[in-house]
Structure 1
Amino acid sequence: MIRDIPTSPANTSAETPTLTKAELAELLFDNVGLNKREAKDMVEAFFEVIRDALESGDSVKLSGFGNFQLRDKPQRPGRNPKTGEAIPIAARRVVTFHASQKLKALVETGAEASFAR
């Protein structure tokens, strides 16, 4: 299991650490043995497959990780915060992500371990 997540210069502040696509490619290079070009291409291809599936209206289910789904949000009334004028907010499609129970449990276990330090 991959545990060493590299810390980029942007992750050294008090902000929440972020794992980037470049860091994912670096992890594939370090832990799987792909060369850097193959690792980068694999990460890009993975996200492209997910993006294409969502664009065509399909749900994406990653066992042990979670589900990406499209949701249609209807038009709704909104308000201009400066003037108070009522303005409609257009209908739109949004992507939602629901973490699996397994991922939630792993995150909770990891959070408990880091608080115990």
Structure 2
Amino acid sequence: MTKSELVERLSLSNDELNKKEAELVVNTIFDSIGNALVGGDRVEIRGFGYFSIRLRDAREARNPKSGEVVKIPRKKTPFFKTGKELRERVNS
């Protein structure tokens, strides 16, 4: 499902929201999650899962074309773990 499909479903399932308002709601939710992660916070949605930031250590890798060693710096990556209810729904 794409973001535009999500907006479409939200506007169809709720008579009070038109497409523009539904898009604003979806954008606000995504922006809020992103801003919380940038601030180092964890975002938990009960029954769905949680988003957090994981720190990846610096490492060395090889360029497959030339074989030369490349240093990859330490970096933060977003991480999502599913909640129990979502996992059970997917597996049933």
Q: TM-score range by the shorter chain?
A: over 0.9
Please say if 1:27 is aligned against 2:3.
no
Structure ranking higher in strand proportion = 2
The alignment's TM-score, normalised by the length of structure 1, stands at: 0.75
Q: Say which SS state the counterpart of residue 79 (structure 2) adopts.
A: strand
1:24-83 Cα shifts (integer Å, max 9, x gaps): 111111111211111111011110110110011101000000010001111001111122
CA distance in 2 between counterparts of 1:61 and 1:85 reads 41
Moved over 2 A (4+): none
TM-score, length-scaled by structure 2: 0.94
Q: Which has the higher contact order (CA 8 A, sep 6+)?
A: 2
Structure 2 unaligned blocks of 5 or more: none
Structure 1 unmatched ranges of 5 or more = 1-18, 110-117
Pairing partner for 2:84 from 85, 101, 104: 101
Offset from partner CA, 1:82-111 (integer Å, 9 cap, x none): 2221111111100000001110110111xx
Percent identical across equivalent pairs? 38
Root mean square deviation, CA, Å: 0.8
User: Which residue matches 1:113?
Assistant: none
